[in-house]
Structure 1
Amino acid sequence: MEIDFKEIASYVIILIIVLIAAQHLNVVVSGSMEPAFYRGDIVLVEKANFLGINEFDPSAVEVGDVVVYDAAWYDEPVIHRIINITDINGTTMYVIKGDNNDKADPYYVTSDQIQEKVVTFNDNLVIIPKIGYLSLWLRGL
């Protein structure tokens, strides 16, 4: 039996691409951002720090951007939209809110908390509808 190193290398490359792609997909677990996206949808994200690569600058996000941040009020990362940017004692603070929520999230957010930003293409969020339901079911959510 001969070992085909080209074939093995091609499988390794495909596996690496799949693993990198998987790190840039987030399953939506709630309806807080409806109608922009829904529970069970998958959003494509860019990361503030991916293996030492800064795919975007968290301090350069703008009102209207949808970001994933480490919330002080919730155990899991939250995907919501920046609705205001303000300066408090020399620190830039972000007011963030789910599109489907009545009120903004309970605490200001700093750029250090912003880990990912949902990718847009032609001013539209990049979303893969409904495929995340399997992941939600497997995780018991």
Structure 2
Amino acid sequence: MNKRQMLMQGINLGRIITSALMIWKSLILWTGSESPVVVVLSGSMEPGFYRGDILFLHQPKQPAQTGDIIVFNTDGSGREVPIVHRIIKVHERAASASQLDILTKGDNNPRDDRTAGLYPKGLLWLNTGHIMGKVVGFLPHIGRVTIIMNDYPWLKYALIAALGAVVLTSKDG
């Protein structure tokens, strides 16, 4: 393969990566959620969602309601992984109708998230700032690939290297 072909392969790889990033950023703008797609990593929401299901999120205009399934992240909890649970209680603060206190629980969990210790110490309620999005759809089991890649990081790097080698060594038509 000559230098020109290698350069073209590198440019094509850059186009693929750039296209994926543009699609991701467009989804963020369209849904209003910082992470419009997440993978369920635990069994806390079974039988509604299983480990490996891909969830699609949207930041709704109307306030959160009891029964909504949300994805939230609490800063300072020591967990960087978003949590998918159902809202079981919502309280409006008297001082401001836009301020909500929210309590969540996994459908498959015996206790609410505050009692179970999923909220950081001192946090009794979630607020709208903790919510990354409301679940609006899902694809079952497709996210298992992500779970396998996280459980076995060497496999992830081997796959990336193999795909890169295929792209760089393939011939243009």
Q: Name the TM-score, length of structure 2 as normaliser.
A: 0.58
Secondary structure of 1:112 counterpart: helix
Per the alignment, residue 55 of structure 2 pairs with 43
Offset of residue 19 of structure 1: 6.0
Considering fraction of residues, name the structure with more helix.
Answer: 2
Offset of residue 95 of structure 1: 1.0
RMSD: 2.9
Secondary structure of 1:80 counterpart: strand
Structure 2 unmatched ranges of 5 or more: 1-11, 29-34, 115-123, 153-173
Offset of residue 61 of structure 1: 1.2
Cα distance in 2 between the residues matched to 1:137 and 1:11: 23
1:1-141 matches, cutoff 5 A? 15=20, 16-17=22-23, 20-21=26-27, 23-47=35-59, 56-57=60-61, 60-71=63-74, 73=77, 75=79, 76-87=81-92, 90=95, 91-106=99-114, 107-119=124-136, 126-140=137-151
Offset of residue 17 of structure 1: 2.9
Offset of residue 14 of structure 1: 5.5
CA change 1:84–1:27 in 2 (3 A) is same
CA change 1:136–1:19 in 2 (3 A) is farther
Give identity over the alignment, percent. 31
Secondary structure of 1:117 counterpart: strand
Larger radius of gyration: 2
Secondary structure of 1:62 counterpart: coil
Q: Name the TM-score, length of structure 1 as normaliser.
A: 0.70
Per the alignment, residue 122 of structure 1 pairs with none
Q: Which stretch of structure 1 is more off in the superposition, 98-107 or 14-23?
A: 14-23
Structure 1 unmatched ranges of 5 or more: 1-7, 48-55, 120-125
Amino acid at match of 1:31: G
How many equivalent pairs are there? 119
Cα distance in 2 between the residues matched to 1:133 and 1:70: 21
Per the alignment, residue 118 of structure 2 pairs with none
Considering fraction of residues, name the structure with more strand.
Answer: 1
CA change 1:30–1:89 in 2 (3 A) is same
